[in-house]
Homo-oligomer: A and B are copies of this chain.
Amino acid sequence: MGTRLLVIGGDAAGMAAASVARRRRPDMEIVAVERGGWTSYSACGIPYLVGGSVDSVDALVARRPDQFRAMRIDMRVEHEVKSIDLDARTAEVHNLAHGRTYSLGFDLLHLATGSSPMRPAVPGIDAPHVHGVQTLNDAQRLLDDIKSRRPEHVVVVGGGYIGLELAEAFVSRGASVTIIDAAPEVMHTLDPDMGALVGRALRATGVTLRLGEALLGVEDGEVVTSQGTIPADLVVLGTGVRPNSDLAQAAGVALGVNDAVVVDRQQRTSVEGVWAAGDCCQSIHRISGRPVHQALGTVANKQGRVAGLTISGSYATFPGVVGTAVTRLCDIEIGRTGLSVTEATVAGFDVVSAKIETTTNSSYLPSARPVTVKMVAEARTGRLLGVQIVGGPGAAKRVDVVAVAAGEGMDAEDLLMADLGYAPPFSSVWDPLQVAARQIVAQLSA
C-alpha cells in the first residue's frame, strides 16, 4: 500500500493541497474529510447570496465532492474528525449522517480546519436567530431562517468586512439594519479617520450605525446593548473569527498567535509529516515581520497550493501576507494593504502619513468620483508601509500596486516614479496613489 494523505477540511486550503498532491503524486492515496455538506466554495460570496444577486448556494461551489472523487480523491463530506493520534497515525472520524465513528490511519496529515465566528460571551448568544456566517452550512441555515422569519429588523454585531457586506445585503432585501460596534468607528483594519468615511458610506445606504455601543445580550425580538435595546428579528455576528485549532492542539501541534497553528515557510507544522494551511494557521506579515492570523480565501488558496507542493516532495514557500483586503458597499469601494498608522506604530515603525482627496479618474469626465487615499511610510527612509483607500469605482484594487511595492520594500519616490497606466477614464495623469506618494516625498525632504 502506498502513502496515505489525510486532509481535514474540504474548502480551499484543504482541497487546493489535495488537488496539487493528486496531480503530482498519482501513487498517493488521498482521503479528505469535511464536516459540512459542501466542498471548495466561496464563503466570500455568501453576502451576495443573502442580497439576492447569487441565486443558490450551489452557485458558490467551485468543485463538488463527486468531482474530487473523479480525481481519485476519497472525499467524505458530513464526516467530522473528532481526534487525532499523531504517534499511532490514526484519526477518529464521525460519520454525521450515520452517527457512527471509525478509525482512519494515515501517513501524512494536512490540517485545513478553518475558522469559526467569534461569539461574544453574552446571554442569549446561542439563540437560533443569532447567526455566525462562515461556511455554506451557515449560509444555508441563514437563508432558511430568513425564509421562515422574514426579518424586518436585523442587527449586525461588529463592523468588519463580513458584517458590512451582510448589512448591505439585508438593506437590499428591504430590512431595517443596525450595526453595533463597541469601537468609535467601523472597520478596525483602517485608521479611525478612514473608518469614518466607511461609516458615512454605510449610513448613505440606509444602515443605522451605533458606534461605541457594546452588545450585552440577545433576547427574543431585540438585542440589549450598553445604550438600550434595538429591535432584532435576526442577529448576524461580524466580530471576527478564531482558528479551529482544538484538534491540532489536542494532538500536540504547536499553536501561535490567536491560537492559530504555527507553520514554517513550507506550511509544515511543529510535527513531522503534518501540514496546515488557511484560516486555522498563522502567517507572517511581510511588513511587520510578525505572526498574524489572517483568515482570507486568497491566503487559504495560496497556502494550500504550497502545502500541496511540499506534501508532494516539491519545493515551494509562502512568502507571507501584506494584509490586503478590498470590499464594496454600493458604489463605494474600500481597500487597504500593509500597515495602518496605528498598526505601523505598534510594530515599531516611526511613520509619516499623507491623506489626500482627489478623483478616481480625470476630473473633467462625468464619471469622476471622489477618492481618499491615506498612505503610510517609514519616516527615515520613505519605505512604503501601507495604504488605505475609500472612494468610487476603480478605487479599491489600486491597493494591489502598494501590496506589491511595499512587499518588495519600495519607497514613496519609487512609487511616484512608477509607470502606472493613465487614460482619462481610469485616472488622472498622476494616479491617486502617486498624489499621496508625492505628499510623503514632500514631507521627507521638508
Contact = CB atoms under 8 A, between A and B. Distances in A.
Interface in A399-425: 399-401, 403-405, 407-408, 410, 414-425
A429 B297 contact: yes
A396 interface: yes
A440 to B, nearest CB: 15
A321 B394 contact: no
Interface string A385-400: 0000000011011111
A114 interface: no
B327 A423 contact: yes
A296 interface: yes
13 contacts: A44-B429, A48-B365, A59-B364, A298-B420, A323-B419, A337-B419, A397-B398, A400-B401, A403-B421, A404-B404, A404-B420, A407-B419, A408-B410
Interface in A330-361: 335, 337
A91 B328 CA distance: 56
Contacts of A335: 421
Given A396-B421, A403-B418, 6 more contacts: A318-B417, A326-B423, A328-B426, A397-B397, A400-B431, A401-B404
A101 interface: no
Interface of A: 12, 42, 44-45, 48, 53-54, 59-60, 161, 286, 296-299, 301-302, 314, 318-319, 321-328, 335, 337, 362, 364-366, 393-394, 396-401, 403-405, 407-408, 410, 414-427, 429-431, 445
Q: How many of these chains are in the complex?
A: 2
A14 to B, nearest CB: 14
* Cβ-closest 4 pairs across A and B: A326-B421, A322-B419, A324-B419, A59-B364
Contacts of A44: 362, 422-424, 429
A229 B445 CA distance: 60
A422 to B, nearest CB: 5
A285 to B, nearest CB: 10
B397 A418 contact: no
B429 A298 contact: yes
A42 B328 contact: no
> Which among A323, A396, A400, A421 has the greatest number of chain B C-beta atoms within 10 A?
A421
A18 B323 CA distance: 40
A32 to B, nearest CB: 19
A179 to B, nearest CB: 18
Nearest to A428: B42
A220 to B, nearest CB: 34
A45 B424 CA distance: 6
Contacts of A417: 302, 318-319
A226 B48 CA distance: 54
Given A48-B365, A59-B364, A362-B42, A421 B399 contact: yes
Contacts of A427: 397
A98 B249 CA distance: 88
Contact of A364 (B12, B54, B298): B54
